[in-house]
A and B are shown apart, each in its own frame.
Chain A
Amino acid sequence: MNGLLDAMALIGRTLFGACLAAGRLVLFAISGISHVVRPPFYGRMFLRAFIEIGYFSLPVVALTAVFTGMVLALQSSTGLSRFSADSAVASLVVLSVTRELGPVLAGLMVAGRVGAAIAAEIGTMRVTDQIDALSTLSTNPMKYLVAPRLLAGLIALPLLVVVADILGVLGGFIIATVKLGFNSELYLANTLNFIQTDDVVSGLAKAAVFGVLITLMGCYQGYNSKGGAQGVGAATTSAVVAASVLILAFDYVLTELFFAR
């Protein structure tokens, strides 16, 4: 009987802890987003975050997209040839890249690169009293540290995904024409005929949400880190793991929202 009660208590404590953590995260997000639209605005901080998230993530996102497009063309050709449906390779590549793989893989790459960096930077500022110092210098840390990063993530991720979409399709095109012997004009025509505005827009909308999730988790974990170097390390890991899981979960939710009939 006591064992059952202990187990129930443990479940209760865990659920309560999870609700508490979710509530804190939501309040943090509301506060951060509200500061995005209220002055003063820190343009230099936004620009710095935008360059860090957008420009410096370009190489890793571009490489991921190109190789993904190449693999996709190769795999789909192998599979579709069994049903004599090779002509569908172009449409499968463009649809997969624009709707799913572009935003999700770009999101995961940026989560690993930028989410960790944001958590480490803000976490270090927390444990070295720099965030307290901001408060004593008439500066709201949420406005100075969090809001510019959220805005930068919201804008930079869709731009990265535009690049990822183009390079992903290009990767598929290269493999299809060079290795699999597709006619280049026909492949391009198939790609352009099949793709619709909704495919691209839904991918970009997902990217915008992922951009906010990545920066939000980096900021939240860093802002609440404690305990010196070990705490900052834990915050960095949590930021990447949480952002990655949230990207996949929100990907499903957004796909339901955009495409479920």
Chain B
Amino acid sequence: MNDAIPKIRLRGLCKSFGTKLVLDGIDLDIAPGTSMVVIGGSGSGKSVLLKCILGLIEPDTGTIEIDGVDLLHQDRRGRDETRSRIGMLFQNGALFDSLPVWENVAFGLLAQNRCTRAEAHAKASEVLAQVGLAPNVGDMSPSELSGGMQKRVGLARAIAAQPDILFFDEPTTGLDPIMGAVIDGLIVDCVKRLGSTAVAITHDMASARRIGDRAAMLFKGRIVWQGPATDLMHTGNPMVDQFTHGEREGPIQMELRK
């Protein structure tokens, strides 16, 4: 694959729900092997953006290209093939509570008929070890796990099929700072080991700096800034600086419902 072609390229992406415009012409390039962190307040459109790229929501207009191929004009088989190369860690884990942990982790492998159940079990134990979980966790039910362990299992499920694109939706939400740092560390390790391209959405600034090579800020459905993640705390953009420093006063006004 030509390195000049971004791994993910978004152009003019718009999405409305009723009269509410959630994404308003998003243009974004993500280079292969880099980690992009998208920050933004609640309701800024981060999750919708992620769901559009994943194909869970159909955008109204715009293009989404992965490796130069327009996802929105692919046939069903092509979309399925593209999807099989993407791993996703959901905000609350989204583990299947009717299945044991190992089957959650190996679900993608079994769904794609890549291995037998015995092989999938062994592979799940291996991946669980990579995220710091003991093999006996595999036989537990997701409801028996703590929030941090559920996130690790979610991460194990996302990386089990060795995807070349990884999405992370609020990976540290609901975790204490130490566990948040542990999860961030695991994410960085996994992304490096797989050589994947990663997109994370978060409003946790510490997490954003740890995970991201580059960062972009979404505000009212538009990208208002993008640059290296190391610059996040001093971008010179008043909106971004207000957000990253958590200041009440500034160009971003909290909308109160009357």
Where the two chains meet, the residues of A that have a C-beta atom closer than 8 Å to any C-beta of B are 40, 48, 121, 125, 128-130, 132-139
From the candidates B87, B90, B92, B107, name the one contacting A139 in the complex (CB within 8 A): B107
Q: How far is the CA of A40 from the CA of B80 in the complex (A)?
A: 14
Minimum CB distance partner of B109 in chain A = A137
Residues of A close to B97: CB separation below 8 A: 130
A-B residue pairs, 5 tightest by C-beta: A129-B94, A133-B94, A137-B108, A136-B88, A139-B111
Q: How many residues of B contact A (CB 8 A)?
A: 24
Where the two chains meet, the residues of B that have a C-beta atom closer than 8 Å to any C-beta of A are 51, 54-56, 80, 83-84, 86-88, 90-92, 94-98, 107-108, 111-113, 157
Please, could you name 27 A-B residue pairs with CB atoms under 8 Å apart, sorted by A? A121-B98, A128-B92, A129-B90, A129-B91, A129-B92, A130-B94, A130-B96, A132-B51, A132-B54, A132-B56, A132-B90, A132-B94, A133-B90, A133-B94, A135-B55, A136-B54, A136-B83, A136-B87, A136-B88, A137-B108, A137-B111, A138-B80, A138-B83, A138-B84, A138-B111, A138-B112, A139-B107
Chain B binding surface, main DSSP class: loop
Minimum CB distance partner of B88 in chain A = A136
- Determine how close the nearest CB of chain B comes to the CB of A84; give it in whole angstroms: 59
- Determine how close the nearest CB of chain B comes to the CB of A6; give it in whole angstroms: 23
Asked if A133 and B111 sit within 8 Å, CB to CB, the answer is: no
**Among B88, B92, B94, B95, which residue has the most Cβ atoms of chain A within 10 A?**
B94
Minimum CB distance partner of B169 in chain A = A129
Residues of B close to A40: CB separation below 8 A: 113
Further contacts, 9 of them, CB under 8 A, given A48-B98, A132-B94, A135-B54:
A40-B113, A129-B90, A130-B94, A132-B51, A134-B96, A136-B83, A136-B88, A138-B108, A139-B107
Residues of B close to A129: CB separation below 8 A: 90-92, 94
Asked if B96 and A133 sit within 8 Å, CB to CB, the answer is: yes
